[in-house]
Structure 1
Amino acid sequence: MIIFKLIWESFRFALQALRSNLTRTVLSLLGVTIGIFAIIAVFTLVDSLEKNIKSSFSFLGTNVLRVDRFPFSSGPGEYPWWRYFRRPPANYSEFVFLKERLKNAEAITISASASATLKRGSSSFEGANLEGVVFDHKEVYDVPVVDGRFFTELEITAARNVTVLGAKIANALFPEGDAIGKEMKIKGQKFMVIGLLEEEGEGLFDLPSKDDACLIPFGSFGKMYYLGRWGIEPTIAAKGMDSDRGLIALENEMTGLLRGKRGLKPTEEDDFALNKSEFIQNAIGAIFDVISIAGAVIGGFSILVGGFGIANIMFVSVRERTNIIGIQKSLGAKNYFILLQFLFESTFLSLFGGLTGLVLVFAITFIPLGSLEIFMSAKNMALGIGLSMVIGMLSGVVPAGIAARMDPVEAIRTN
């Protein structure tokens, strides 16, 4: 019961401080408001931007290992770029070879893509991301079919002319809707629409999007495009198991199998690159971590100023309530009661300022910024409230200590 009494009295005194001298209190709390606003706004913008950028690279998949000629990154002393061009591209026979032998992969796929113009009657869609895929493609990458269906194994094996379209293509070629079962043309060949992908929306960068995707069987793609060294190159991708942290086992297994398939001697270097989809996301995360730290440092100075403002209010409050403190102690109030009373009060005052800052940050989330969607996470809200409480307690420690150590007789005599 005592703790609830302390909280209630502290809250009442905090409200009294706000009412008695509103201008002074608001100006003192402004530092906390600006500090919380600066830090949480930076974290919110950074988190939102990071999430949007990472979602733009969602086409790379999650927990996926790709076979490419070029690595995603290169360290110091890497061999010249022109030597990468001499590497052979992945091919369908290597895909079959890996599919039959890989033990550390949940699924494996091969795909190839090209930019194409799609037509239906007098309507056309230029710049479509035409992609040839196999049946297990949906097990490696996210293929959200919202209407119709994905390819069957028979359609993939027989290389039938069927397609799954992205939302933007479907809206352009079939404005009347109901594209399922209707025909369109790709490079003069008729294809029947069997499925539609979920609309993804615009991203921050001009990167491959499911909205511009036109999926067809890998064999059908190979009939229209030359797959070779100087043509359009296929990409083999394997999805690792959740238990394989860092895809170490899958990487080692794929390296050994590919070296054996390509006939590389033990002394010869790899003529392929195994790229992890998480590399780019981790690199992006590292960049935004630095930005977050810089923003936190800048906002920290504002919070420090706000802490001095709270401390000033508490020193004034102790001086104005010296008589009351003396009466409370003469009636038997313990030192910890007085101490906690002022600590709670300083914490409440700081919370007022911090919550105001959070409200301002929350207001930012409603500002339209094009394709950048701003969101305020529960983690950032909790961080803002936690920082406000810490600043309030630290700012009230010294004034509360002074009040707790007062001599009741001297305090009562004070005018």
Structure 2
Amino acid sequence: MLFLKLSWESFRFAISALKTNLTRTVLSLSGVTVGIFAIIAVFTLVDSLEANIRSSFSFLGTNVMRVDRFPYANGPQDYPWWKYFRRPPGTVAEYEFLQQRLTSAEAVTISASSNTTVKAGSNAYQGMSLTGAVYSYQDVYEISLEEGRYFTLSEINASRNFAIVGKEIANTLFPQQEVIGNQIKIKGMKFTVIGVFEEEGEGLFDTPSKDQACLIPYGAFNKMYYTGKNGMEPTIAVKGMVEDIGLVALENEMTGLLRAKRGLRPRDENNFALNKTEFIQNAIGSVFDVISVAGWVIGGFSILVGGFGIANIMFVSVRERTNIIGIQKSLGAKNYFILFQFLFESICLSLIGGITGIIIVFFLTFIQLGSLEITLSFNNIMLGLGVSTIIGVVSGIVPATLAARMDPVEAIRTN
């Protein structure tokens, strides 16, 4: 009860300080408001942008390693693409070899893709991303269906002409119609639609989206396209174990198995590249880390100015209430009571500025920025409140200490 009474009394003094000289207080708190706004606005924009970009690259999968000819590159460097170009592509035989022998993987899949045109009646959709996949494709990549179902194992093995299409393709080919069970035509072959992907919406970058994709059995894809060397290159992808941090165990095992399958001697260089999808995500994260630091620097200067403003208010407040401090101490008020009173007032003033900055950021999230959806997260709100509290403590600790150490007799005599 004593703590609540002390807090309420300190809060009343803080409000009184605001009302006494409103112009001075507003100008002083504007620094904290601008600083918190700058930091939280940058962090909110960075988090939203990073989430959107990561979502745009979700087609690569999570915790997935791919067998490619070309390795992912980071930054300017000597990239001998002519050497990588001569490497052989992955094959179905290698996929089956890895599927049978890998022990540090959850699933192994192989797929091949091409852009083509799909038709249904008098309607057509150009630029569709057509992918032929095996049954384990759903175990490596996330397959979310809005309606319908995935292929059965027997349908994959029999290379049945079934298809799963994206939402945009379904709306274009079958406007105001039932999609499941209807037929589409791809390169002269008829396919029955058995499923529709969940709508992903427009991404920030022009990355592949399931809205413009179509999935068919791998064998049906081979009926229309030649896969392998000098044809459509298939991609072998392996999903690693959750406990395999960095996919180190999976990479070592896959390297040994692929070298054995391709007949490489101990001194021969690898003629394949094992690419981790986390490479792109880590590269994205490092870029946004730099932007976050810039946000701290920009907001830090404003907060520094705001902190000095609050300290100035507190020094003035201590001066104006010196007589009151003397009376309180003569009536038995302890030093910690006076200290807490002014410190609480400083924190309240700083929080008012910080909350104002957060509210401004919140209203800015309603601004439409194309496909970029801005969201003010709970973590960023708590960050703003935490920084405001720290600024209040730092700005008020010296004035509060001076007030707590005052001699009651001298304080009462002060005019």
Q: TM-score range by the shorter chain?
A: over 0.9
- What amino acid does structure 1 have at the position aligned with 2:43? F
Spell out, residue by residue over 1:351-399, the C-alpha distance to the aligned partner (whole angstroms, 9 max, x if none).
Answer: 0000000000111111111100001111111110000000001100111
**Correspondence for 2:335:** 335
Tell me how far 1:117 sits from its aligned partner.
Answer: 0.2
**Correspondence for 1:148:** 148
Identity over aligned residues, as a percent? Answer: 69
**Correspondence for 1:219:** 219
The separation in 2 between residues aligned to 1:323 and 1:196, in whole angstroms, is 76
Give runs of ≥4 in structure 1 deviating > 6 Å: none
Q: How does 1:283-298 map to 2 (within 5 A)?
A: 283-298=283-298
The separation in 2 between residues aligned to 1:322 and 1:362, in whole angstroms, is 40
- What amino acid does structure 2 have at the position aligned with 1:47? D
Q: Determine helix, strand or coil for the equivalent of 2:200.
A: coil
Tell me how far 1:246 sits from its aligned partner.
Answer: 0.8
**1:10–1:75 CA distance, 2 compared to 1 (3 A):** closer
**Would you say how many aligned residue pairs link Structure 1 and Structure 2?**
415
Stretch moving more, 71-80 or 211-220: 71-80
**Correspondence for 2:32:** 32
Q: How does 1:77-116 map to 2 (within 5 A)?
A: 80-116=80-116
Spell out, residue by residue over 1:242-285, the C-alpha distance to the aligned partner (whole angstroms, 9 max, x if none).
Answer: 11111111111111111111001110010000000111000000
- What amino acid does structure 1 have at the position aligned with 2:88? P
**Correspondence for 1:300:** 300
The separation in 2 between residues aligned to 1:125 and 1:144, in whole angstroms, is 22
The separation in 2 between residues aligned to 1:176 and 1:24, in whole angstroms, is 63
Q: Determine helix, strand or coil for the equivalent of 2:203.
A: coil
The separation in 2 between residues aligned to 1:103 and 1:265, in whole angstroms, is 23
The separation in 2 between residues aligned to 1:229 and 1:297, in whole angstroms, is 53
Tell me how far 1:228 sits from its aligned partner.
Answer: 2.2
Tell me how far 1:298 sits from its aligned partner.
Answer: 1.1
Q: Determine helix, strand or coil for the equivalent of 1:203.
A: coil
The separation in 1 between residues aligned to 2:374 and 2:192, in whole angstroms, is 39
Q: Determine helix, strand or coil for the equivalent of 2:238.
A: strand
Spell out, residue by residue over 1:52-90, the C-alpha distance to the aligned partner (whole angstroms, 9 max, x if none).
Answer: 011100000000010000111268875621011100000
Q: Determine helix, strand or coil for the equivalent of 2:194.
A: strand
**Correspondence for 2:249:** 249
The separation in 2 between residues aligned to 1:326 and 1:40, in whole angstroms, is 41
Unaligned 5+ segments in structure 2 are none
The separation in 2 between residues aligned to 1:227 and 1:74, in whole angstroms, is 29
- What amino acid does structure 2 have at the position aligned with 1:348? C
**Correspondence for 1:128:** 128
Q: How does 1:179-258 map to 2 (within 5 A)?
A: 179-258=179-258
**1:361–1:330 CA distance, 2 compared to 1 (3 A):** same
The separation in 1 between residues aligned to 2:328 and 2:74, in whole angstroms, is 71
The separation in 2 between residues aligned to 1:86 and 1:232, in whole angstroms, is 15
Q: Determine helix, strand or coil for the equivalent of 1:115.
A: strand
**Correspondence for 1:279:** 279
Tell me how far 1:6 sits from its aligned partner.
Answer: 1.8
Tell me how far 1:160 sits from its aligned partner.
Answer: 0.9
**1:245–1:117 CA distance, 2 compared to 1 (3 A):** same
Tell me how far 1:230 sits from its aligned partner.
Answer: 2.5
Tell me how far 1:3 sits from its aligned partner.
Answer: 1.9
CA RMSD across the alignment? 1.1
Unaligned 5+ segments in structure 1 are none
**Correspondence for 1:406:** 406
